[in-house]
A and B are shown apart, each in its own frame.
Chain A
Amino acid sequence: MLLIDCPHCGPRDETEFHAGGEAHIARPEKAAELTDAQWADYLFMRSNTKGWFAERWVHAAGCRRWFNVERHTVTHEIRRTYPMAGAPTEPEEGP
């Protein structure tokens, strides 16, 4: 069970939220100029990371605002929540 720290309301139970999938997928600026493969990449392809993962959640039964969460997809640990406009943590250069 997750305890999610909404940046606007504070820590709340998982059942108050809806998961919105991978974060920071920007809609292409000139969509009409993309090839089918590029469009498919935007629409369907996902990084589906095993490890630290930036994702969107909405506080459906609270402030109803969308925000970002950095959660580990193996341990489920949440290390950071931040507003929609925030930038993701740069991946660490590991050995």
Chain B
Amino acid sequence: MQRFSAFALLAKSLGGHQGWSRQWRLATPKDAYDVVIVGGGGHGLATAYYLARNHGITNVAVLEKGWLGGGNVARNTTIVRSNYLWDESAALYEHSLKLWEDLSQDLNYNVMLSQRGVLNLAHSLQEVRDSRRRVYANQLNGVDAEWLDRGGVKVFCPLINTDESLRYPVLGATLQRRAGTARHDAVAWGFARAADSRGVDIVENCEVTGFDIQGGRVTGVQTTRGAIRAPKVAIVVAGHGSVMAERAGFRLPLESHPLQALVSEPIKPVLDCVVMSNAVHVYVSQSDKGELVIGAGIDSYNSYAQRGSLPVVTSQLGALIALFPMFSRLKMMRNWGGIVDVSPDASPIVGKTPIDGLYFNGGWGTGGFKATPGSGHIFAHTIAHEDPHPLAAPFNLDRFSTGALVDEHGAAAVAH
């Protein structure tokens, strides 16, 4: 792997930036691997990377049906935070945030983590109580969290309309200063490059169409590029989890929905933090290019179409204008959708399946980007040791039978 450094940049600039090598090989699938990972999104690539880095398992293939970074990893609005309510989630997302903080160094790839602070606004007395409760819970779990009253919000983010006459006035906000955004493409590319350099084969345009299962144990996968044998197979396909599970013969408690986002025309820097509101339902940050990146909730019906409908966009823009009247003249440039796999308790499912050797990682729904390094890290451990990582253990599939749900719906502010 060609390492990136200030010196390398300088040296290559003398040659007109010719001669940079490929970031990862165009691998042709082999007949057999120790581990096959289905899905080349952020979580699949991170899993491959940590299998190689932490467990010395390098005979690994990542099979991606499209191109690398075509899924949610490059469609999301890049909010990274760890201020979840429950102990299990706080531990998981904080573990991930700590990995984020060293990720650029670790991967030798700039993922442009920007810890600019995330505000979660509260608009009613009940939301104020819930938010303050979450701040206390976060503090007890070692997650940085502060409560700002209305005046404090105005100081931290002067642009927000804190006028009392608003239909849903801003009464305060939680602030996580270590939270922020990261560059989504760079996360996919950085993990791909680092995994490849340790020997992982990244195979694009290779769709997994079925699983070979003998006596309740997985022995390999069928793909559009032939059969591949593997004693361990990991499904990490975001919105397509249920489709994969059906092909393997088990059921999941997931529903796939479109989640949309849109960006405005680029403007001068005006917004230097991330603002999220659950009640009026919109969230916004400004990209380094100057565009406002805007998102909100899912479309309510099931879909695999990677596009949503206009009423959802209309309502989130209405909320945006109420909070930031000065954005009312901005033109919106692009909008798109991704397919998110929503679980009943808004928490992920990470671990074993009813089939031996077959592992599942999904159900991250609208908020899995922030978990990318943490998810890959604990999932790689789970696959390598054939036993859940302690942080993954509460997020097993059995919790839907035992009743030990990790109910983050509403508890963790807006779920992105």
Contact = CB atoms under 8 A, between A and B. Distances in A.
B310 A1 contact: yes
Given A1-B309, A71-B301, A21 B255 contact: yes
A73 B251 contact: no
Nearest to A2: B309
Residue among B255, B301, B400 with the highest chain A CB neighbour number at 10 A: B301
B300 A18 contact: yes
Contacts of A26: none
Interface string B1-15: 000000000000000
A62 to B, nearest CB: 16
A46 B300 contact: no
Residue among B242, B302, B310 with the highest chain A CB neighbour number at 10 A: B302
Contacts of A21: 255, 302
Contact of A14 (B242, B255, B256, B309): B309
B305 A46 contact: no
Interface string A48-75: 1110010100000000000000010111
B310 A74 contact: no
Contacts of A47: 242, 246, 251
A74 B304 contact: yes
A50 B402 contact: no
Interface in A30-52: 36-37, 39-41, 43-50
A17 to B, nearest CB: 9
A67 B253 CA distance: 23
B242 A46 contact: yes
A45 B311 contact: no
Interface in A3-27: 14-15, 18-19, 21-22
Contacts of B301: 2, 19, 55, 71
Contacts of B303: 73-74, 76
Interface in B262-304: 300-304
B401 interface: yes
Interface residues of A, number: 28
Contacts of A74: 303-305
B57 to A, nearest CB: 31
A46 B257 CA distance: 13
B199 interface: no
Nearest to B299: A19
A48 B311 contact: no
Given A14-B311, A40-B401, A45 B253 contact: yes
Contacts of A2: 301, 309
B311 A46 contact: no
A48 B344 contact: no
A44 B405 CA distance: 11
Interface of A: 1-2, 14-15, 18-19, 21-22, 36-37, 39-41, 43-50, 53, 55, 71, 73-76
16 contacts: A1-B309, A2-B309, A19-B302, A36-B402, A37-B401, A39-B401, A41-B251, A44-B344, A45-B253, A45-B400, A46-B253, A47-B251, A48-B254, A48-B256, A74-B304, A76-B305
Interface of B: 240, 242-243, 246, 251-256, 300-305, 309-311, 344, 400-403
Given A2-B301, A39-B401, A53-B302, 17 more contacts: A1-B309, A14-B311, A15-B311, A19-B302, A21-B255, A21-B302, A36-B401, A36-B402, A41-B251, A44-B400, A45-B252, A45-B253, A48-B243, A50-B242, A50-B243, A55-B301, A75-B305
In the A-B complex, the 4 residue pairs with the smallest Cβ-Cβ separation, listed nearest first, are: A48-B242, A44-B253, A19-B301, A45-B251
